[in-house]
Amino acid sequence: MRKILLILFFAMLLLSNSKESFAVRDWEYWSRYSVAVPLSKQITYYIKPEWRVKEEFYRYLFKLENAVGFKLNDFIEIAPYYVWLEKKTIICADRSDLFYLDVTASLPLKDFFDLKFIDRARYQYNFDKETTIWRNSLKVTRNFKITETIEFAPFLEDEIFYDTKVNAVTENWASSGLSIILNKNISLSACYLLDSIKKVDDWQYANVIVSSFAVKF
């Protein structure tokens, strides 16, 4: 069964990369970090900085997310976020204050190939631009124990962005990658992400390499 899952994972990875020929934007690199500080058994504080670079490592975006997560039970967490975003253009630096409200459901399916489904619904509001985006991310993963503490977790994920101003889906992130859980406090991951953005009636694509580093105290 493990061999079947690995074959499916690499097949999806190749399928994602096959869209490269349609990309009209350059390659990008996104660097994500996450620090989680438990305040109690049900409450956790998160801080998540992110940098994005493109075109010979020109940093065009920085984002800093702050959140407090409230676990309702073993499967559902609600987290309000304050987000500071800076996006650079040739002309200027565009800065925005955003609000997120996340509802994340984690569903382990022991009887279905031991997979884990993680669905995150996000309400996103930009105060400066007065825009509302509804987002939904679905992630499918499966952990493989390597040693007593280290685990590998290949994953597939897709996230859609629905813009209420135009009443349409305006962006989609499709990704496949691998997480490495070193212990209960530290994990790393890397993935390929196809970023699809709708410009008027055409879709533009960018190939993105994403790395993540997460620490939980």
Per-residue confidence (pLDDT) for residue 25, from 0 to 100: 67
**Amino acid identity for residue 31 in this structure:** S
Segment 32-73, tens digit of pLDDT:
999 999 999 999 999 999 999 998 788 999 999 999 999 999
Per-residue confidence (pLDDT) for residue 3, from 0 to 100: 43
Local confidence band at 28 (pLDDT 50, 70, 90 cut-offs): very high
Segment 154-170, tens digit of pLDDT:
999 999 999 999 999 99
- Whether pTM exceeds 0.95: no
Q: Where are the domains of the chain?
A: 2-216
- Averaged over 13-33, what is the pLDDT? 65
Fold of the domain spanning 2-216: Porin (2.40.160)
Write the CA distances from 31 to 50, 54, 133, 190, 212, integer angstroms: 6, 12, 23, 10, 6
